[in-house]
Amino acid sequence: MRIDCPCCGARDIREFTYKGDALALDRPDPDAGDAAWSDYVHNRDNPAGITRELWYHDMGCTAWLVVTRDTRSHEIAAVDLASAVKEGVA
């Protein structure tokens, strides 16, 4: 796999660290309750198909990226800066 970093261009996945589902961009409210927080921390949709996930470009620009990827084929459809996604720009 190669990830097309918005800052650095297409790079080998060895430059990146995988974090997991991009749900970290949508945290529950601090007072949402134990059930909501447990669900957020532990449970996953874990789709066999298109997923959005966080990757960290630690051997490049150190940006957090949101990668839209197919877990059945490893095909990458889109790569966005997590900061832009968070701000609703991407």
Partner 1 sequence: MRFSALKILTEGLTGNKGWKPHWRDPEPKAEYDAIVIGGGGHGLSTAYYLAKNHGLRNVAVLEKGYIGGGNVGRNTTIVRANYFLPGNSEFYSHSLKLWEGLEEDLNYNVMHSQRGLINLFHSDGQRDAFARRGNAMINQGDDAILLDRDGVREILPYLDFDNARFPIYGGLYHPRGGTARHDAVAWGYARGADQRGVDLIQNCEVTGIDIENGQVTGVQTTRGAIRAKKVGLVVAGRSSQVAAMAGMRLPIESHVLQAFVTEGLKPVIDHVVSFGMGHFYISQSDKGGLVFGGDIDFYASYAQRGNLPMAEHVMEAGMALMPMIGKARVLRSWGGIMDMSPDGSPVIDATHIDGLFLNCGWCYGGFKAVPASGWCMAHLMATGTPHEHAAGFRLDRFETGRGLMDEEGTGAQHNLH
List contacts with partner 1 (CB under 8 A). 1, 12-14, 18-21, 34-35, 38-39, 41-48, 51, 53, 71-74
Q: Which is nearer to partner 1, 46 or 62 (CB)?
A: 46
Q: What are phi and psi of 22, to 5 degrees?
A: -75, 15
Report, in Å, the least distance between residue 6 CB and partner 1.
19
Report, in Å, the least distance between residue 4 CB and partner 1.
16
Q: Which is nearer to partner 1, 34 or 87 (CB)?
A: 34
Q: Is 40 helix (H, G, I), strand (E, B) or coil?
A: helix
- Tell how far CA 63 is from the center of its chain: 11
What is the length of the chain?
A: 90
In this structure, what token pair is assigned to residue 42? Answer: 């532990």
